[in-house]
Amino acid sequence: MTALAQLGGGTPATGAPPPARPGRHRLLPYLLLLPGAAWLLVFFVVPLLQLAAASLYDPTGSLSTGYALTWAFGNYPEAVQAYWPQFARSFGYAGAALVLALLLGYPLAYAIAQKAGRWKNLLLVCVVAPMFTSFLVRTLAWKTILSDNGVLVGLLRDVHLLGPDGRLLATPVAVVLGLTYNFLPFLVLPLYASLERLDRRLLEAASDLYAGPLRAFRRVTLPLSMPGLIAGTLLFFIPATGDYINAELLGTPNEYMIGNVIDSAFLVRLDYPQGAALSFLLMAAILAVVFVYLRRAGTEDVL
Amino acid sequence: MANEAPAGDLRLAHLSKRFGIFTAVDDLSLTVPQGSFFALLGASGCGKTTTLRMIAGLEEPTSGQVLLGGRDIARLRPYQRPVNTVFQSYALFPHLDIAENVAFGLRRRGIRKVGDQVRRMLALVQLDGYERRRPAQLSGGQQQRVALARALINHPQVLLLDEPLGALDLKLRRQMQIELKRIQTEVGITFVHVTHDQEEAMTMADTVAVMNAGRIEQLGAPAELYEYPATAFVANFLGQSNLLAADAAGPAGSEVPVTAHGARFSVPVDRARTDQGPVYLGVRPEKLHLVETVDQVPTGHQQVEGVITDASYVGVSTQYLVRTGWGSELSAFTANSGVGGQHPVGATVVAHWDPRHAFLLPREPGQDDHTTPLLDEPVGAPS
């Protein structure tokens, strides 16, 4: 988000303006905006309005009989009533995965940014490398890793962390692990960018001013990595909340998240008004969470 | 305070730091008396900053001790030492305002009521009213003073300053030199100041240690270092010197006679660092006086004849180059005090000096005259 803000601020400043034809020069930023704006209008704003309209269709309609826009606001409370457990599960799983990803990702980003030396670029490639394979393939691979006859489950059973019939696949744990794995790079990369800019001399100064390693981290490193931390958690949390592949492949209907419900509403049950209403509810819920989070995190850099 | 004085001395004993095969600091020993303003002076890469960082704890010595009041602190972590640093880059915390930057050390030591102390410290560095600003909103000179306040508020036993004025422009630097000296006198804390600027070291410090290649070349009061340098390096790093290759053959009475380029000179015994073998006969450019004829030379003075090859008028003085009969060029500075006239380029002159202003230094056999070119900044080791 900071990067976007910087890009936006940078566009009008296209070097020293030539004195001739200042009028055209002033229009240039808008001309540059035009293609992108047109794209967003056609492929984002129009479908969004279409979806909003669909969420207010008469719920008794169907593909064969056709839909009528009856301003059926009742679709929303009905959708919440029917699927609030999936909503709660989405935020619960995404939250748990976020905590796990922070525990894994912060030390990783810190190590790459500050300690890796000449291995820095190689390690960054390693973080991004899984992205070269399809999301589906990666998640299917986790199915193998977590399978009942797999090495991991065998090991956990041997050390009695799992009972003799205990399993990982088709449990909430599997879904959370899948979410953590699939979205980890989105957390690590912005965090890395923040930590890479961290001036080591500030840590020396903190150390010189009686701050031990833990206090120096809490008082200097952490606050200075805040922009990256906020960007990373948002980039992780938002897609993780809406995800349905992990629950689909690694869980059972008992682990289904709201994404699975929307998926089935549109593609299986063909209940378009409900699917659209659920989509808008998810969007609103995520926006609310993000807004509260940014207010609490309190950085001027992001909002 | 007074009876504690000897206990608070900072002593470095056989301190060494090697990075791989490179020796940055080589068996360094020195004592900084409590309450003094001590300057470590040297060109970049001479080991002065490494020495400072070892005192701060930011660099671990390869061997040797850092003793503070008799206690070896060389193996303590930086945050365990009663020492604070003003960093060259200031290293102010960009996410904290000025008051919190200054209070940082107090807070880490669990002191809750910091408001009064912060206000007093900001007043000391003349930054009252800047509490709520961010470091990025301050000028370089102001940031420098925040860095100073942030270190001083902790009342360290020793304050370390790593080229603190390096990033400031000349006028501000002069102002801060005076300011720093005033503050040091006011708080009475030992200051160890690292700089490559000889003028800065001389104007501020009680004691200056000139470092070269990881060792101390000479240590003493600024006037002592300037008037009677111990080595050719010091003679040229601190101001300029005309060093004539000469040979000595032991003292004769209260004088050491030397021969240089076929002429005979002498230097008082107490101005001779050595009295045998190859020596440098040194005279500072401002101690060389120029007259037109030999009979104008005062009695007791010694002289060399030559031709003016260059004259630079720099306002307060005129700086001449005088080519001697054997080809070396001597520098001579004459004050533009209205007494005595200017010498045109090409004029034959006699350069004379009082032997009590000359000095004898050891010289490596085979080294020729070493006279610094006019207006050249002293940099690095003599070539």
The mean pLDDT value of chain A amounts to: 88
Q: Is residue B145 part of a domain?
A: yes
A6-46: pLDDT as tens digits? 433 333 444 444 455 556 678 888 999 999 999 999 999 99
Specify the pLDDT at position B372: 57
**Among chain A residues, CA nearest to B155:** A209
In this complex, which of A202, A209, A223 lies closest to B108 when CB atoms are compared? A209
> What is the arithmetic mean of pLDDT over A90-113?
96
Query: Which residue range(s) make up the domain with B348?
Result: 240-371
How does pLDDT run along chain B (383 residues), one tens digit per residue?
A: 344 445 689 999 999 999 999 999 999 999 999 999 999 999 988 999 999 999 999 999 999 999 998 899 999 999 999 999 999 989 999 999 999 999 999 999 999 899 999 999 999 888 999 999 999 999 988 999 999 999 999 999 999 999 988 878 888 888 888 888 988 998 889 999 999 998 899 989 999 999 999 999 999 999 999 999 999 999 988 888 999 999 998 898 899 999 999 899 999 999 999 988 999 999 999 999 999 999 999 999 999 999 999 999 988 899 999 999 888 899 999 998 887 778 999 999 999 999 999 999 999 887 888 875 533 444 443 33
Residues B5, B72: Cα–Cα separation, whole Å: 17
Clarify whether residues B216 and B249 are in a common domain. no
Phi-psi region of B195 (alpha: psi -120 to 50; beta: other; left: phi over 0): beta
Clarify whether residues B78 and B156 are in a common domain. yes
Chain B residues with CB inside 8 Å of A223's CB? 95
**Among chain A residues, CA nearest to B102:** A209
Q: Is residue B85 part of a domain?
A: yes
Residue B178 carries which side chain, given as an amino acid letter? I
The residue with tokens 């009972």 is A163
pLDDT exceeds cutoff 90 at A58: no
Chain B residues with CB inside 8 Å of A209's CB? 79, 84, 104-105, 108, 150-151, 154
For testing contact with chain A, the best of B55, B104, B106, B109 (most A CBs within 10 A)? B104
User: Is any Cβ of chain B less than 8 angstroms from the Cβ of A229?
Assistant: no
Domain count, chain B: 2
Clarify whether residues B127 and B22 are in a common domain. yes
* Residue A68: band (very low, low, confident or very high) from pLDDT cuts 50, 70, 90: confident
**Among chain A residues, CA nearest to B154:** A209
User: Is any Cβ of chain B less than 8 angstroms from the Cβ of A300?
Assistant: no
Q: Which of B193, B223, B253 is the last residue of a domain?
A: B223
Chain A residues with CB inside 8 Å of B93's CB? 202, 205-206, 219-220
Clarify whether residues B187 and B253 are in a common domain. no
Specify the pLDDT at position B57: 94
Q: Is residue B163 part of a domain?
A: yes
User: What Å distances lie between residue B194 and A202, B41, B54, B157, B207, CA to CA?
Assistant: 20, 6, 13, 17, 12
Residues A71, A76: Cα–Cα separation, whole Å: 11
User: What Å distances lie between residue A22 and A13, A15, A18, CA to CA?
Assistant: 13, 13, 7
Do the strands B37-41 and B207-212 form a parallel or antiparallel pair, or are they unpaired?
Answer: parallel
Return the bridge partners of B330, or none: B322
Clarify whether residues B216 and B248 are in a common domain. no
- To the nearest whole angstrom, how far is the Cα of B79 from the nearest Cα of chain A? 4
Clarify whether residues B65 and B209 are in a common domain. yes
Number of Cα atoms under 13 Å in the Cβ half of residue B78? 25
- To the nearest whole angstrom, how far is the Cα of A51 from the nearest Cα of chain B? 43
Ordered DSSP codes for B32-63: E-TT-EEEEE--TTSSHHHHHHHHHTSS--SE
Q: Is residue B382 part of a domain?
A: no
For testing contact with chain A, the best of B108, B158, B163 (most A CBs within 10 A)? B108
Specify the pLDDT at position B167: 78
Neighbours of B229 (CB within 10 A): 27
A109-146: pLDDT as tens digits? 999 999 988 999 999 999 999 889 999 999 999 999 99
Read off the CATH number of the domain in which B245 is found.
2.40.50.100
User: What Å distances lie between residue A229 and A123, A178, A224, B88, CA to CA?
Assistant: 19, 21, 9, 30
A202-259: pLDDT as tens digits? 999 999 999 999 999 999 999 999 999 999 999 999 999 999 999 999 999 999 999 9
- To the nearest whole angstrom, how far is the Cα of A298 from the nearest Cα of chain B? 12
Chain B residues with CB inside 8 Å of A220's CB? 93, 95
Residue B360 carries which side chain, given as an amino acid letter? L
Clarify whether residues B209 and B246 are in a common domain. no
Return the bridge partners of B158, or none: B83, B190
Q: What is the number of CB-based contacts under 8 A between chain A and chain B?
A: 61
Number of Cα atoms under 13 Å in the Cβ half of residue B140? 14
In this complex, which of A204, A215, A220 lies closest to B58 when CB atoms are compared? A204
Token pair listed for A114: 């500050």
Residues A86, A261: Cα–Cα separation, whole Å: 8
**Among chain A residues, CA nearest to B147:** A205
Q: Which of B166, B192, B223 is the last residue of a domain?
A: B223
Specify the pLDDT at position B378: 42
Q: Is residue B232 part of a domain?
A: no
Give the B window 87-116 contacts with A, CB below 8 Å. 87, 89, 91-95, 104-105, 108-109
User: Is any Cβ of chain B less than 8 angstroms from the Cβ of A301?
Assistant: no
Chain A residues with CB inside 8 Å of B154's CB? 209-210
Neighbours of B132 (CB within 10 A): 10
Chain A residues with CB inside 8 Å of B109's CB? 210
**Among chain B residues, CA nearest to A218:** B108
Check CB contact under 8 Å for B84 and A215. Answer: no
Clarify whether residues B184 and B253 are in a common domain. no
Strand order in the sheet with B190-195: B83-86, B158-162, B190-195, B37-41, B207-212, B215-220
Specify the pLDDT at position A67: 83
Q: Which domains does chain A have, with CATH numbers?
A: 73-297 (1.10.3720.10)
Clarify whether residues B244 and B354 are in a common domain. yes
Clarify whether residues B35 and B88 are in a common domain. yes
Clarify whether residues B336 and B272 are in a common domain. yes
Specify the pLDDT at position B170: 85
Check CB contact under 8 Å for A201 and B87. Answer: yes
Give the A window 180-199 contacts with B, CB below 8 Å. 199
In this complex, which of B56, B91, B151 lies closest to A201 when CB atoms are compared? B91
**Among chain B residues, CA nearest to A212:** B79
Q: Which of B192, B223, B254 is the last residue of a domain?
A: B223
Read off the CATH number of the domain in which B187 is found.
3.40.50.300
Clarify whether residues B113 and B177 are in a common domain. yes
Chain A residues with CB inside 8 Å of B83's CB? 208
Specify the pLDDT at position B169: 83
Give the B window 132-191 contacts with A, CB below 8 Å. 150-151, 154
Q: Is residue B379 part of a domain?
A: no
